[in-house]
Amino acid sequence: MLIAILPLVAMSSDVFTTAAMDMPTPSKQRTAQVQLADVLANADSIDSVQAKDSTVTFTITRGDRRIDVVATTAASHEVTLVVERERGFDDGGMGGLTWLVDTMRETIAVTRLDVDEDGAVTLTTDQGMRYMAIPGRGSGGDADVEARWAAEWNDDEG
């Protein structure tokens, strides 16, 4: 009888091992946080940001490639996973959040992504700095100025 149980235990162990590999460990989570800062820092432009539930998507341009950078967050809003997907080139607006590229060049990791009720995304760095990326507001203003102002205002609040 013991022989019949051993293969089941071995199979269960493989299932648990596979599931454990997919779970965000602190080191995988830290890697995703560093990866997000790095991907944004190396973009030629950051064109847009959209958020839904625990997923935040930055559309970036790198050379002649458009890429969706999809960041997943835990319930605590900490970045746990980052995936890049080719988007193909389209006529979407370009560069509205490009000011964030220089900021990310000086950042080691983006630790949190908080989304407010209007869809604005606040990026929190490992140094505690907070920057707000605001999706198109339709206010007719300069998107770069609005985004920088929000970053400054948000930093003063902290």
CB 131 within 8 A of CB 41: no
Which amino acid would we find at residue 46? I
Cα–Cα dist 107/138, whole Å: 29
φ, ψ of residue 4 to 5 degrees: the values are: -70, -30
Coarse DSSP helix, strand, coil percentages of the chain, rounded to the nearest 5 percent: 35, 30, 30
pLDDT tens-digit profile, the chain (158 residues): 444 444 444 444 444 444 444 555 566 667 999 999 999 999 999 999 999 999 999 999 998 889 999 999 999 999 999 999 998 656 555 567 888 898 999 999 999 999 998 889 999 999 999 999 888 643 233 444 445 445 554 455 54
Q: Is the pTM of this model over 0.85?
A: no
